[in-house]
Amino acid sequence: MRSSWFNKLSLIFGHRIRHNWFLLCLISILALVVIIGSSSSLREFDSIGPPRFPNVYTNYRKLKEQAVVDYFDLRFLASGNNPRQKELSLCGKEKEKENYVPCYNLSANLKAGFKDGEEFDRHCELFRNEDRCLVRPPKEYKIPLRWPAGRDVIWSGNVKITKDDFLSSGSMTKRMMLLEENQIAFHNNDGLIFDGVKDYARQLAESIGLGSDSDFLQAGVQTVLDIGCGFGSFGAHLVSLKLMPICIAAYEVTGSQVQLALERGLPAMLGNFSSRQLPYPSLSFDMVHCAQCGIDWDGKDGMFVIEVDRLLKPGGYFVLTSPTTKPQGSLLATKKGNMLTPVEDFTQRICWSLLDQQDDTLIWQKTADAHCYEARKQGLPLCQDEHESQSYYRRLVKCISGARSKRWAPIRNRSNGVQYGEFYEEREYWKSALRNYWSLLTPLIFSDHPKRPGDEDPLPPYNMVRNVMDMNAFYGGFNAALLDGKKSAWVMNVVPIGSRNTLPLILDQGFAGVLHDWCEPFPTYPRTYDMLHGSGLLSLLSSEKCGMMDLFLEMDRILRPEAWVILSDNVGAIEMARTHATQIRWEARVIDPQNGSDQRLLVCQKPFLRK
Ligand SMILES: *[C@@H]1O[C@H](CO)[C@@H](O)[C@H](O)[C@H]1NC(C)=O
Ligand SMILES: *[C@@H]1O[C@H](CO)[C@@H](O)[C@H](O)[C@H]1NC(C)=O
Ligand SMILES: *[C@@H]1O[C@H](CO)[C@@H](O)[C@H](O)[C@H]1NC(C)=O
Ligand SMILES: *[C@@H]1O[C@H](CO)[C@@H](O)[C@H](O)[C@H]1NC(C)=O
C-alpha cells in the first residue's frame, strides 16, 4: 500500500515529494477520515463472549480501516523513512518521577479544596499529563528475581524506601524484614527466622472453627481483601495456601505497601475508601482483613464498616487485628461486663456476629441470611438505587448493599467454583490462544541465547512472568488458561467501564479483578507488571474520547523493563498500536495468523532503557 500511495503521488508531481505542507494537508485530511470513521465505532467486542472474528465486513469498514493503514504509511514516508523520529524520551531523574503515580497528588488535592479524607483519594480529574515522557527506572534498578525467589528477596534499589520506613515498620506484618547489602529479605517462609504469620493464620482458622489454615478453601474462604497489607507477608502465606489475597493500601510516597507487595509478586493495588467505595461490586470477598491498617473504624458513622459489609459475601469474615486496646465507647470496642458497647450494637444492626476474640484479634461473620437486615430492630435500610454491578468509586453509603442480589449465596455452600457452562467456549479458546502466545514468545525470549546444535528447543521458564494484567478480561478465560498451563502467574483481571460487567463472575472463580476506566491511569506504581494482555481492548476504546497515546504511555509506566505486551485486535487497531509502540520505543511485531481473518496480534517488549 505504501508504494502505491507513493507511486500515485509521484505521478502527480513527477518527482519525490518534498513539500511538507502538502503532506501535512494530506495527512490532516486522512486523519480527519480516521477520526470521523473511528468515532462511528469500531466495536467488534461490544458484546461479551469469546472474542469473535467477524469474517463479514462491510465495504465501508474495510475502507475505513484501509484509511488508517494508509495514514500511518504516509506518516512513515513523511518522516523520511525513519520510524524512530518521533520517539519519546525518558522523564527526569527526580525520585518522584521515577515512582510517579498519577491521580494522587496530595498538594494538588488540598489546593482544589478536598478535605475530610477525600484528599487521599484518587482525583484523576485534576491530573494533566503535561509533558509526555517515559517513566525512567531508578539508577540502581535491577530486573526482579524470578518467582518464587523474588517473593522473599527483592532489590532495594527497585522500591522507594527510607531508613525511617524500616525503623517504623514494627507491625506484625512488617517487622520480618532485613536489609542486606542491596537486597531486602523477607524471612517469613519455611520458618527461616520468624513464623509469626503461620501462627497467626492458624489462630484465625481455629477462630472460625477450622482445624488448620489449610482448611480455608474447604470452608469457602478463597478471596481475601487485605487492607493495609504491611509488606505482604500475610498475603505471601495465603498464596502458599492457594488463596487469593488482594492487598489494598493508600498511596504512599515512600515505603509503599502496594509497591512492595507487587515487587514481591503478590497481588496488590492502590485503594482507599475514605470517601468513595472501592471499585469492586458488592458480595466480592470471602474475607476482609485489617491488621493495624490505620483505619478509624469508628469514623464517619460506621460507613467504613458498611463498606466492608458491602464487599463481603454472605457468611464472609471480617478480621481486625490491633494491638492497642480501643478506647471505651468506640464503635468496635469490645464487651465490658454485661453492657452492650456501641460496637456490638452497631455490628448487630448490620447482622454481624462476633465469632471470636483472641489477644488482639477480633473476628466477625457477616450473616448468611438476607432477611436478617429487615428483621433487626434499628437495622440499617437496604439500598434502594442499587447499581451494584457498576460500582466505580461511588460515594460511601449508609445502607446495606447486595441483600437483594441474585448472587446472594453463603460462602460455605459454594460448590467447587462456578459452573463453566456459559463460558466453556471461551475457556477452550483461551487454552489454545495461550499455547500460541507461548510459542510466539519462546523464540523472542531465547533470541539472546541461540541454541547450540543438538540442543533441545528450550521451553520458556514456567516462572517467566508473575504479575499479569488482562486489560479486558471478559470472563477471566486468559487467567484460567494460565493456571491451566501451570504458569506461576496471578492475573489482575480488569473489566473496563462500559463493557458488560463480568467482574462478579471473575471474582467468584477466586480470581483477582477490578473495574477500571481505561481513559484514566491504573491505580498502581510504575514497573509492577510482567505482562499486559488486551484482547479487543483497542476496538472497545476506539469509541471513547480518551487518547490512545496516553493509554500506551500508561501501559509503559506500569510495565517492568523487559516485560511483555500482547494485544489482539483487528488490523486497523493493531497498525495504530504498532505506531504508538514504536514511538514509546517498544520492540513490536505484528503477527498475522494468515487464515483470512482480519485479526492481528501485536507482541511487544518494553526495553530496559537507561537513556
Ligand atoms: C483463524 O482464525 C480463526 C478466527 O476466525 C481462529 O479461530 C482459527 O483458529 C484460525 N485458524 C488457524 C488455522 O490459525
Ligand atoms: C502536584 O501538584 C502541585 C500543585 O498543583 C504541583 O506543583 C506539583 O508539580 C504536582 N506534583 C506532581 C508530582 O505532579
Ligand atoms: C485512606 O488513606 C489515609 C491516608 O493514608 C488513611 O489515613 C486512611 O486510614 C485511609 N482510609 C481508608 C478508609 O482506607
Ligand atoms: C447451605 O447449606 C446448608 C447446609 O450445609 C443448607 O441447610 C442450606 O439450605 C444451604 N443454603 C443454600 C442457599 O443453598
Please check whether the two domains, 194-416 and 420-605, share a CATH topology: yes
- Confidence (pLDDT) at 529: 98
Model confidence band, residue 443 (pLDDT cutoffs 50, 70, 90): low
Band of pLDDT at residue 64, cut at 50, 70 and 90: very low
pLDDT band at 452 (very low <50, low <70, confident <90, very high): low
pLDDT at 60: 40
Q: Which of 184, 275, 183, 260 is nearest to 229 (CA)?
A: 260
- What Cα–Cα distance (Å) separates residue 111 from each residue in 8, 74, 101, 108, 271? 56, 45, 18, 5, 22
- The fold adopted by the segment(s) 420-605 is Rossmann fold (3.40.50)
* Chain centre distance of CA 25: 41
The per-residue pLDDT for 22 is 46
> What confidence category does residue 286 fall into, taking pLDDT thresholds of 50, 70 and 90?
very high
pLDDT at 83 over 70: no
Q: Quickly list DSSP for 472-532.
A: S-TTTHHHHHHHHTT---EEEEEEETTS---HHHHHHTT-EEEEE-TTS--SS-SS-EEEE
The rounded Å distance from CA 530 to ligand 3 centre is 28
Per-residue pLDDT band at 611 (split at 50, 70, 90): confident
Q: Which of 118, 120, 248 to mutate to test the pocket of ligand 3 (most atoms within 8 A of CB)?
A: 120
Mean pLDDT of 357-386: 87
Q: Say yes or no to pLDDT of 274 above 70.
A: yes
Chain mean pLDDT for the chain: 79
410 touches ligand 4 (CB under 6 Å): yes
Cβ atoms of 147 and 155 closer than 8 Å: no
Mean pLDDT of 105-129: 87
pLDDT at 467 over 50: yes
Ligand 2: atom nearest CA of 96 is 13
Going by alpha carbons, the residue nearest to atom 11 of ligand 1 is 595
Tell me which of 84-93, 141-150, 492-501, 559-568 is least confident: 84-93
SS3 content of the chain, % helix, strand, coil (to 5): 35, 20, 45
> Is the minimum distance from the CB of 488 to ligand 2 under 6 angstroms?
no
- Dihedral angle over CA of 484, 486, 488, 491, nearest 10: -10
- Nearest C-alpha neighbor of 235 from the set 215, 253, 258, 210: 258
Distance CA 325, CA 17 (A): 79
CA of 109 to the centre of ligand 2 (A): 9
| CB-ligand 1 contact for 595 (6 Å cutoff) | yes
* Ligand 4 contacts CB of residue 408 (under 6 A): no
Burial class from Cβ neighbours inside 10 Å (0-12, 13-18, 19+) for residue 454 reads exposed
Alpha carbon distances (Å) from 423 to 49, 51, 420:
7, 12, 5
Q: What is the pLDDT of residue 112?
A: 93
- DSSP code of 418? -
Over residues 565-583, the pLDDT tens digits come to 999 999 999 999 999 999 9
Q: pTM to 2 decimals?
A: 0.82
Q: Quick one: pLDDT at residue 507?
A: 93
Q: List Cα–Cα distances, 107 to 21, 94, 103, 120, 521, in angstroms.
A: 44, 18, 11, 10, 19
Residue 449 Cα distances to 137, 295, 434, 603, angstroms: 25, 50, 23, 19
Report the percentage of the chain scoring pLDDT > 90: 47
How much is the pLDDT for 555?
98
Mean pLDDT of 337-352: 70
* CA distance linking residue 148 with residue 466, whole number of Å: 9
Residue 73 has pLDDT above 80, yes or no: no
pLDDT at 424: 81
Pocket of ligand 3 (CB under 6 A): 120, 250, 272-274, 294-295, 304
- CA nearest ligand 1 atom 7, residue: 53
Q: Write the burial class of residue 535 (CB in 10 Å: 0-12 exposed, 13-18 middle, 19+ buried).
A: buried
Report the percentage of the chain scoring pLDDT > 70: 73
| Maximum mean pLDDT: which of 230-239, 455-464, 588-597 | 230-239
Query: What's the average model confidence in pLDDT over 75-91?
Result: 61
Ligand 2 centroid to residue 296 C-alpha, Å:
28
Q: 111 CB under 6 A from ligand 2?
A: yes
Ligand 1 pocket residue status of 593, Cβ below 6 Å = yes
Q: pLDDT higher for 129 or 161?
A: 161
Average pLDDT over residues 520-543: 95
- For ligand 1, whether the C-beta of 594 sits within 6 Å is no
Q: Closest ligand 4 atom, CA of 413?
A: 1
Least confident of 8-12, 71-75, 169-173, 583-587: 8-12
Which protein residue's CA is at the shortest distance from atom 8 of ligand 3? 295
Q: If DSSP codes are grouped into helix, strand and coil, which group holds residue 94?
A: coil
Cβ neighbours for 441, distance < 8 A, ≥ 6 positions apart: 460, 464, 564, 603
Q: What grid cell was written down for 502?
A: 463480568
Residue closest to 533 by CA, chosen among 553, 554, 555: 555
pLDDT tens digits for range 134-186: 999 999 999 999 888 899 889 989 999 887 776 665 455 555 566 667 888 88
pLDDT of residue 301: 86
Q: Whose C-alpha lies nearest to ligand 4, atom 13?
A: 409
Would you say the CB of residue 130 lies under 6 angstroms from ligand 2? Answer: no
CB 368 near ligand 4, within 6 Å: no
Q: Please work out, in degrees rounded to the nearest 5, the angle formed at the alpha carbon of residue 54 by the alpha carbons of 50 and 56.
A: 160
- Determine which helix (DSSP H) or strand (DSSP E) holds 361, and give its type and residue range: strand 361-366
pLDDT above 80: residue 432: yes
CA of 255 to the centre of ligand 2 (A): 20
CB atoms within 10 A of CB 168: 11
Q: Please, which pLDDT band fits residue 327 given cuts at 50, 70 and 90?
A: very low
Residue-level pLDDT at 50: 40
Confidence band for 290, pLDDT divided at 50, 70 and 90: very high
Q: Omega of the bond prior to 148 within 30 degrees of 0, cis?
A: yes
Answer whether residue 454 shows pLDDT above 50: yes
In short, whether 407's Cβ falls inside 6 Å of ligand 4 is no
The predicted model gives 531-551 an average pLDDT of 91
Q: For 500, how many CA atoms within 13 A lie in the half-sphere containing its CB? A: 10
Distance 596 CA to ligand 1 centre (A): 8
* pLDDT tens figures, 295-316: 888 888 889 999 999 999 999 9
> From 3.40.50.960, 3.30.360.10, 3.40.50.150, 3.60.120.10, which CATH number describes the 194-416 domain?
3.40.50.150
Note the pLDDT tens digit of each residue in 186-241: 865 444 444 678 888 999 999 999 999 999 999 999 999 999 988 888 999 999 99
Residue 2 has pLDDT above 80, yes or no: no
Which one of 595, 598, 599 would you pick to mutate in the ligand 1 pocket, going by the greatest count of ligand atoms within 8 A of its CB? 595
Q: What is the pLDDT of residues 376-428, one digit of tens each?
A: 878 889 998 766 556 788 889 999 999 988 889 999 877 555 566 667 888 88
Alpha-carbon distance of 49 to 500, in angstroms, equals: 10
Give the per-residue pLDDT at 96: 82
- Return the ligand number nearest the Cα of 599: 1
pLDDT of residue 188: 52
Q: For residue 197, give the nearest of 229, 237, 226 by alpha carbon.
A: 237
Nearest protein CA to atom 11 of ligand 2, as residue: 105
Whose Cα sits closest to atom 4 in ligand 4? Answer: 413
pLDDT band at 282 (very low <50, low <70, confident <90, very high): very high
Q: Which ligand is nearest to the CA of 135?
A: 2
**C-alpha pair distances (Å), 132 with each of 84, 95, 526:** 16, 17, 15
Residue 450 burial by CB count (10 A; 0-12/13-18/19+): exposed, middle or buried? exposed
The reported pLDDT for the residue numbered 128 is 73
> From the CA of 219, which ligand is nearest?
4
Q: Domain-by-domain residue ranges, the chain?
A: 4-78, 194-416, 420-605
248 band by pLDDT with thresholds 50, 70 and 90: very high
Of the listed ligands, the closest to the CA of 414 is 4
